[in-house]
Every structure is written in C-alpha cells, then in structure tokens.
A and B are shown apart, each in its own frame.
Chain A
Amino acid sequence: SQQGEEDPQALSIQEGENATMNCSYKTSINNLQWYRQNSGRGLVHLILIRSNEREKHSGRLRVTLDTSKKSSSLLITASRAADTASYFCATDASDSSYKLIFGSGTRLLVRP
C-alpha cells in the first residue's frame, strides 16, 4: 500500500520556470525523502527531511514539510531540460521505521 501520494501526476513547464510538486501522506512519519527517476534508470536520492525539520535546501531544490497537514512539497527553481524526470516522495511505513514506501510520483517535463 502507498503511504505518499504526489500531486500533480504530471507537470509541463518551460525551461527557467519553477516547478512545485506536492506529497501527502497518511500516518505519522520519522522522515520523508524525495527521489528522482530518469527514464529507464533507478531512483536517485535528492533530499531527506526529518519530522522535526520544516525546510531543507540542496542547490536548486527546496523541500518543505508540514507534519500537521501531513504534506511536503518539492520546489525546483530555474528548471532545466535535464530536470525532466519522475519525482517520488517516500516515507517510512506506519508499521516500521526501517522500510520505505513510495508514492505514485509526478512526471515532470521541462520544455527547452
């Protein structure tokens, strides 16, 4: 069963614009992670944010976490064509803090 659900399912933007993806989850968590997947490849870890953190940055990536709303967002600023990929949020499972459950993902297309 999926813990996180991303919104939107698909997003198409122009190069240079910002892209925002949202993730909602159902039960309390210890941390939330974001991953990117290029077509035909494995997932690549982007950012891990712990439940006691509200915001985290990594280069052009900004992740926020609102535990009261059980939601997170991933912002990619000044997008590039190379950012075209699927993005997934993942949380530890309600029955175990050691197993990671993924959402359904957002497909991002950045048009040059």
Chain B
Amino acid sequence: DAGVIQSPRHEVTEMGQEVTLRCKPISGHDYLFWYRQTMMRGLELLIYFNNNVPIDDSGMPEDRFSAKMPNASFSTLKIQPSEPRDSAVYFCASSRQGARSPLHFGNGTRLTVT
C-alpha cells in the first residue's frame, strides 16, 4: 500500500498563473478529501468526494478554485488565477467511510504564489 500520493510536493508560481494539484488516493477508499492548511486558519476542508462525485464543496473559497475526480484513482484541485493569499499547504486524504473511519493523508503540496 503506497498510501495517498500527492504531486507536486512544492509549487512556486506567479500571481495570475493556473495551478493544478494532483492526488492519487488509496485503492478501495470511496471518499476523497481536499484540505488547506495555513498558520492563520488551520486545517480547512475544501471539498470532499464520494465514489468520484463531489458531495460538499462549501469550503471552496472562491470560483477560482475547482476540483475534479474523473475516476477512482485520481483527483485534481485547480486554482485559476492564483493569488498570493492562496499560498498554503494543500492536503489530499482518503478513507473508506468518510469521517466514520480513519483518514489517510498525503504529504501535501506546499504552494507559494508570488
């Protein structure tokens, strides 16, 4: 079991550019979560999927953010256009039964927008 895999580990981009973060969940996990972590706001839930379907995106900060899960083994989080305030660590996590079971986290993508 390779765990949840996120790429890239680090991303530095200029304001206005498009950023795409990628996640491969653990095989057999039906739930996938995207979180954002900052010093000021802590860990925020952005969106979660069940069986590849977005269930709750109420945490997505703005229309600049979008997430997709085209199949059970891949998800993307896109920011377009990026802004300096989007700088944060973005985590992907997967689980078998949502919050009713342990979440397994990737090592995150540290995004810096200059």
User: Are B33 and A99 in touch, CB under 8 angstroms?
Assistant: yes
Contact digits for A82-103, partner B, Cβ 8 Å, 1 yes 0 no: 0000001011110011111111
Interface residues of A in 56-93 (CB under 8 A from B): 88, 90-93
Interface bin, chain B: 20 to 34
- A103–B44 CA distance with the chains assembled, in angstroms: 9
Chain A contributes a number of interface residues (CB within 8 A of B) equal to 27
Residues of chain A within 8 A of B48, CB atoms compared: 98-99
Contact between A43 and B91, CB atoms less than 8 A apart: yes
**By the criterion CB–CB under 8 Å, are A93 and B99 in contact?**
yes
Given A42-B106, A42-B108, verify A99-B99 contact (CB < 8 Å).
yes
- Structural contact, A44 and B33, CB atoms closer than 8 A: no
Q: Which of B78-109 contact A (CB under 8 A)?
A: 91, 93, 97-108
Instruction: Give Cα A44 to B103, complex, Å.
Output: 8
- Asked if B50 is an interface residue, CB under 8 A from chain A, the answer is yes
B55 sits at the interface (CB 8 A): yes
Set of chain B residues within 8 Å of A91, measured between Cβ atoms: 99
Interface centre among A2, A88, A100 (most CB of B within 10 A): A100
B47 to chain A, nearest CB (A): 10
Residues of B within 8 A of A43 (CB): 43, 91, 93, 103, 105
Chain B residues, CB < 8 A from A33: 99, 102-103
Chain B residues 1 to 54 lying within 8 A of chain A, measured CB to CB, are 4, 31, 33, 35, 42-43, 45, 48, 50
